[in-house]
Amino acid sequence: MSHTLTLAHESLVARPSGALFWPERRLLCVSDLHLGKSERFARRAGTLLPPYETHETLLRLEAEIEATGAGSVICLGDSFDDAASLDGMEESDRLWLTRLIAGRDWVWIAGNHDAGPLEIAGSHRAEVRLGALTFRHIAEPGARGEVSGHYHPKARLAGKAWRCFLADTARLILPAFGTYTGGLWADDQALTGLMQPGALALLTGGTATRAIPMPR
Amino acid sequence: MKTLPPALSDWFTAKGWTLHPHQWDMLARAPDPATLLIAPTGGGKTLAGFLPTLAELAQTPAKGLHTLYISPLKALAADIRRNLRTPIEGANLPIRVEDRTGDTTYTQRRRQRADPPHILLTTPESLALLLSYEDAPRIFAGLQRVILDELHALAESKRGDQMTLLLARLQSLSPGLRRVGLSATVEDPPALARFLAPNTGILLADPGPPPDIQMLETDTPPPWAGGGGRYAIAAILEQVKQHRTTLIFHNTRAQAELFFRDLWLANTEDLPIGIHHGSLSREQRERVEAAMVAGALRAIVCTGSLDLGIDWGDVDLVIQVGAPKNVKCLVQRIGRANHRYNAPSKALLLPANRFEVVECKAALDAVQGGTLDGEPRGPGPRDVLCQHILLTACSGAFDADHLYAEILTAGPYAALTRPEFDATLDFVATGGYALRAYDRWQRLKLTGTTWALRDPRAAAVIRQNLGTIIDTETLKVRLKNRSGGTPLGEVEEAFAATLTPGDTFLIGGQVVRYEGLREMTVEVSNQPGRDPKVAVFNGTKFATSTLLTQRILDIFKRDRWPELPAHTAQWLSLQREVSRLPNAETLLCESFPHDGREHLVVYGFAGRNAQQTLGLLLTKAMEEAGLAPLGFVATDYATLIWGIDAVHDAKPLFNLTALQQGLETWLAGNAVMKRTFRASAIIAGLIERSHQGRRKSGRQATFSSDILYDTLRKYDPDHLLLQITREEAMRGLIDFSRIEDLLTRVAGRIETRRLPRLSPLSAPLFLEPGRIPVQGMGRERLADEAARKLMEAAGLA
């Protein structure tokens, strides 16, 4: 069961997968995919993590695209773990990603991990404005109608940690969608300083999206 | 060598010391390649181990490292250094002794590598680090003897498995190396001897007279449940007054803290009493140790951190608070009293609650019967082997055939097959994944016949992750003041996360106020007099042995209990009245509401591992029956399960065939397995320990090991690390065969008693640590409920 919220008079759906859907525009938005993270770890640190997370992330992304019938996709930045991640991707994963992009209006927003130019189909932008909404990687103080990612928020409820959206009347912060991504507790100063009093945390990862007051 | 060099024997004579027979025996056996000395605590074991070294170095002084001494405790190394100084300085021997532990300064460690002392005292972890350097062959080339102290303790853990691999390495570097193991009394000396080396000679010292051990009976009866023994403070203080020095052992650090605080509140005569446990800061522990050595303390409240033979003076009484969980450990603790050889040790057992009265009685019977317990350890775990291969690569290029041959000489790895070794090496080199993704980024590269690190800079990271002890995350606690703050100790991160400024908690026996978190340090101020929360430490967890469990069940069978204190006999009678006492023939289950949740207790008396497996199986059956279980905890006697809905008849849950179906999947997805995976993944070098200094606030934590585990299970189910995780779980955590035995024995005789409230026997289960959450629909229902309440409270619903 998803949670519907309103931001700048637009009706948006926070899905239990951690993806955001905008029904009016058939637009799916995901943040912080961090594709190629295990390859970067091997390259940089010599740690050989199970090399399956890109496959797993694409599998979940494909399932969300199919479930929503999205015609547009916005990836909110940090889609790739670094500039070289695209090169290091398995050929089959790369082809798969290309198939997902084909026939869709696909936007890659630049993040701090993947700020440089990327050689993959889709349009590459620093930020995107659609109607009253602005899509960018890192939230900017004072912004309104802003949808962003970057922080990977998470919160505790019933003895468990959940990845979560943070929502107030001015902005929405998405949880990380990537498989190998950790999180930042919602009560961290970086987030409490950004969100208004009365903000909600929308917990994902279960069978439903559950709203709670944002922990502070 | 049957005689001592004159310098030493003159000094012994001057001091009026005579050697014990087993100390002479050790001198006689000095040329043997491997000797295991088993002697009671206080039997002069350590001196026996060092005598041949002192004799050899006194006769033929040589430069370089002669003897390596390895103990499981840092404190022990420092203590031994103090104790060795007396004969060395007294007899004026030209011998340099130094210790090397995690506490040794960087400068000193560098100097020790350039110019090693004659005798180096260290821990397995510090030795692993030393062996990972390129200059290890030079440092250890002339090594003559290695002494492993407290071998019985080392042999029970992965630290011991790693130790045997390090010994194999040392033996290659110095083929003439002689091994000596020192151990307290154990149940199976030949097994320990094989662990030390093939063809080890065993030397059994006179075990001494039987200990004088009794249960401490008090005017106040022990409480129904709970731990810590605070009801007996007055009686214990009285005992402290009557003795020179008393050691007061507790089973957990939290209990030691609470007890220590209350002891001081009652200590109107201001007797000097200290506290010592592993969560206190090094400075605090050292202060207590120094006071103890100086004979300035009348009593010391302590935990397992004092279990191992630190020798500080004139202890004439040992008090064990809380039931001893195994007989062997009890016997070793008792041995701490009265360090005069051939004088009986004096000890008192203080049961903390009424169930423990029964446990203490069973333990006393076992000690008097002279029976020891213990379970054999299986073959050496392969996560430790992964780390050993990484360590070897750090020290330089190696040949796989040579390394395999060397590893086979380590006791626990003697049966390692070549394919197993090759798979382990492949994991270390390439990750060992079905998807060969890392050909460009291999960790180890094969050139000709030798393997080496692809990127030599990786050695620094590998060294930081050496060791097999996996701690829960802890944070340092400091008193907030201008000069940086006095360190007080550590608390678990999960506990620190529950604190808000103004909360008070106990640490180091004092009540402190939480001020805030700064750079991953908990800052506190003094706040005496407030009623504190209890800090959570990763204290020692003991599993009661099968032997004791059986003795307890025997006690339950009796009609009356004249040998037990009246209060405990009444308590057992009360259990018999409101429910019944468990027995071996019919499986007793109790079901009752408590504190807003439904509970089910299953008294299987099958041992902790089997009871834990039962918890996994029953929660699976409950999940399928829609009973929304939330979690469980297992002891050696029972499993306590809590959830949202009541279980009125447990019998249908015990359908063995149904239990086994999908068991693999359920087990694999469980928190127990994830915990096991995390530990093995850290040891095997797949993930790094988190370095607290590097974590900064305002940044996301790294992904959790649970995600790696789930991903591996999905895409690479036969991966080596999953094999290791399953092996580890089978070794210690999962015990399906005992469940089958139990169910066969009771043959369908499963009785569920529905009670209005918790039963007398179930009460102690509620205080048991090690609760395991169940991530099923119950958790989702709980989250729905919690979310609804929060929204209502915030006026948002």
Average pLDDT over residues A24-47: 93
Q: Which residue of A has its CA nearest to B443?
A: A46
Report residue B713: phi and psi, to 5°. -60, -40
Which residues are paired to B642 by β-bridges?
A: B599, B631
CB neighbours of B526 closer than 8 A, spacing ≥ 6?
B479, B510, B511, B512, B513
- Note which residues in 769-788 of chain B have CB less than 8 A from chain A: 773, 775, 779-780, 782-787
Whole-Å CA distances, A45 to B366, B426, B470, B679? 53, 18, 21, 20
Of A45, A157, A207, the CB nearest to B786: A157
For chain A, how many structural domains are there in total?
A: 1
Q: Which residues of A touch B703 (CB under 8 A)?
A: 179-182
Contact A159 B775 (CB under 8 A): no
* Whether pLDDT at B328 is above 80: no
Is residue B790 within 8 angstroms of chain A, CB to CB? yes
Average pLDDT over residues B647-670: 76
Is residue B692 within 8 angstroms of chain A, CB to CB? no
Whole-Å CA distances, A39 to A84, B97, B273, B274, B600? 9, 48, 56, 53, 47
Average pLDDT over residues B467-487: 72
* Whether pLDDT at B488 is above 70: yes
Please choose, from the candidates B290, B231, B306, the residue with its C-alpha nearest in 3D space to the C-alpha of residue B266: B231
pLDDT digits 0-9 by tens, B242-276: 998 888 988 777 778 888 888 888 888 889 998 88
Confidence of residue B44 (pLDDT cuts 50, 70, 90): confident
Report residue B630: phi and psi, to 5°. -110, -25
pLDDT at B538: 39
Distance from C-alpha of A132 to C-alpha of B431, rounded to nearest angstrom:
48
Is residue B700 within 8 angstroms of chain A, CB to CB? yes
Distance from C-alpha of B269 to C-alpha of B265, rounded to nearest angstrom:
10
Of A43, A189, A206, the CB nearest to B441: A43
| Least reliable range by pLDDT among B350-364, B567-581, B696-710 | B696-710
Contact B441 A47 (CB under 8 A): no
Is residue B17 within 8 angstroms of chain A, CB to CB? no
CB neighbours of B40 closer than 8 A, spacing ≥ 6?
B184, B185, B205, B207, B208, B335
Q: Which residue of B has its CA nearest to A55?
A: B715
Task: Count how many Cα atoms sit within 13 Å of the Cα of residue B343 in the half-sphere of its side chain.
Answer: 13
Written as six digits, the tokens of A130 are 């659609």
* Whether pLDDT at B342 is above 70: no
Q: Which residue of A has its CA nearest to B789?
A: A212
Cα of B674 to nearest chain A Cα, Å: 15
Average pLDDT over residues B496-505: 70
Please choose, from the candidates B588, B610, B612, B619, the residue with its C-alpha nearest in 3D space to the C-alpha of residue B601: B588
A interface with B, Cβ–Cβ below 8 Å: 38-39, 42-43, 45-53, 55-56, 90, 151-152, 157-160, 162, 176, 179-184, 188-190, 198, 200, 203, 206-208, 210-213
Please choose, from the candidates B70, B159, B127, the residue with its C-alpha nearest in 3D space to the C-alpha of residue B679: B159
Q: Is the CATH code 3.40.50.300 the one for domain B6-204?
A: yes
CB neighbours of B178 closer than 8 A, spacing ≥ 6?
B30, B31, B32, B33, B34, B35, B144, B145, B146
* Whether pLDDT at B400 is above 50: yes
pLDDT at B693: 39
Q: Which residue of B has its CA nearest to A158?
A: B783
Which of A32, A47, A59, A156 to mutate to probe the B interface, most B CBs <10 Å?
A: A47
Task: Count how many Cα atoms sit within 13 Å of the Cα of residue B197 in the half-sphere of its side chain.
Answer: 23
CB neighbours of A71 closer than 8 A, spacing ≥ 6?
A26, A27, A104, A105
Contact A52 B791 (CB under 8 A): no
pLDDT digits 0-9 by tens, B183-217: 987 878 999 999 999 889 999 988 777 778 888 88
* Whether pLDDT at B537 is above 70: no
Contact B715 A56 (CB under 8 A): yes
Of A43, A46, A52, the CB nearest to B458: A46
Confidence of residue B539 (pLDDT cuts 50, 70, 90): very low
Written as six digits, the tokens of A77 are 């930045």
Q: Which domain holds residue A82?
A: 3-213
* Whether pLDDT at B102 is above 90: no
Instruction: State whether residue B113 is helix, strand or coil.
Output: helix
Contact B796 A52 (CB under 8 A): no
pLDDT at B509: 64
The domain at B382-464 falls in which architecture? Orthogonal Bundle (1.10)
Please give the CATH superfamily to which domain B212-369 belongs.
P-loop containing nucleotide triphosphate hydrolases (3.40.50.300)
Of B438, B707, B719, the CB nearest to A179: B707
* Whether pLDDT at B691 is above 50: no
Which is more confident, B371 or B62?
B62
CB neighbours of A47 closer than 8 A, spacing ≥ 6?
A41, B686, B687, B688
* Side chain identity at residue B395, one-letter code: S
Average pLDDT over residues A135-164: 93
Is residue B697 within 8 angstroms of chain A, CB to CB? yes
Report residue B325: phi and psi, to 5°. -90, -20
* Whether pLDDT at B307 is above 60: no
pLDDT digits 0-9 by tens, B152-182: 888 888 999 999 999 999 999 999 999 999 9
Is residue B690 within 8 angstroms of chain A, CB to CB? no
Whole-Å CA distances, B450 to B129, B453, B454? 22, 10, 12
Q: What percent of chain B has pLDDT over 90?
A: 34
What's the mean per-residue pLDDT of chain A?
94
pLDDT digits 0-9 by tens, B747-784: 889 999 999 998 988 887 876 666 777 777 787 888 88
Written as six digits, the tokens of B422 are 């090759």
What is the DSSP code string of B142-163?
Answer: T--EEEETTHHHHTTSHHHHHH
What's the mean per-residue pLDDT of chain B?
83
Contact A212 B791 (CB under 8 A): yes
Is residue B494 within 8 angstroms of chain A, CB to CB? no
* Whether pLDDT at A7 is above 80: yes
* Side chain identity at residue B297, one-letter code: L
* Whether pLDDT at B142 is above 60: yes
Q: Which residue of B has its CA nearest to A206?
A: B780
CB atoms within 10 A of CB B742: 19
Contact A51 B438 (CB under 8 A): yes
What is the DSSP code string of chain A?
Answer: --EEEEETTEEEEE-TTS-EEEGGGTEEEE----BTHHHHHHHHH-----TTHHHHHHHHHHHHHHHHT-SEEEE-S--BSSTTHHHHS-HHHHHHHHHHHTTSEEEEE--SSS-S---SSSEEESEEEETTEEEESS--TT-SSEEE-SS-EEEEETTEEEEEEEE-SSEEEPPP-SSS---EETTSHHHHTTSPTT-EEEE-SSSS-EEEEPP-
* Pairing mode of beta strands B597-603, B629-634: unpaired
Site of tokens 């390649």:
B33
Contact B786 A182 (CB under 8 A): no
Cα of A124 to nearest chain B Cα, Å: 26
Distance from C-alpha of A25 to C-alpha of A73, rounded to nearest angstrom:
10
* Side chain identity at residue B584, one-letter code: A
* Side chain identity at residue B173, one-letter code: L
* Whether pLDDT at B695 is above 60: no
- Note which residues in 427-446 of chain B have CB less than 8 A from chain A: 430-431, 433, 435, 437-438, 440-441, 443
Written as six digits, the tokens of B117 are 């002392």
Contact A51 B435 (CB under 8 A): yes
Q: Do domains B212-369 and B382-464 have the same CATH topology?
A: no
Instruction: State whether residue B542 is helix, strand or coil.
Output: coil
Question: What 8-state DSSP symbol labels residue B411?
Answer: G
Each domain of chain B, given as residue ranges in start order, spans 6-204, 212-369, 382-464, 474-526, 579-783
B294-326 burial code (b ≥16 CB/10 A, e <16): eeebbbbbbbbbbbbbbbbeebbbbbbbbbbbb
pLDDT digits 0-9 by tens, B355-386: 788 888 888 888 777 776 666 678 899 999 99
Contact B708 A48 (CB under 8 A): no
Query: Are residues B15 and B180 in contact, defined by beta-carbon separation less than 8 angstroms?
Result: no
Confidence of residue B662 (pLDDT cuts 50, 70, 90): low
| Least reliable range by pLDDT among A29-33, B223-227, B346-350, B709-713 | B223-227
* Whether pLDDT at A159 is above 50: yes
Please choose, from the candidates B254, B767, B667, B786, the residue with its C-alpha nearest in 3D space to the C-alpha of residue A159: B786
Please choose, from the candidates B710, B4, B101, B681, the residue with its C-alpha nearest in 3D space to the C-alpha of residue B387: B681
CB neighbours of A116 closer than 8 A, spacing ≥ 6?
A83
| Least reliable range by pLDDT among A68-72, B31-35, B330-334 | B330-334
End-to-end Cα spacing for chain B: 86
Q: Which residue of B has its CA nearest to A216?
A: B500
Q: What is the ipTM of this complex?
A: 0.89
Is residue B797 within 8 angstroms of chain A, CB to CB? no
Tell me, what CATH number does A11's domain have? 3.60.21
- Note which residues in 454-473 of chain B have CB less than 8 A from chain A: 454-455, 458, 461
Query: Are residues B80 and B69 in contact, defined by beta-carbon separation less than 8 angstroms?
Result: yes
Site of tokens 């080496």:
B452
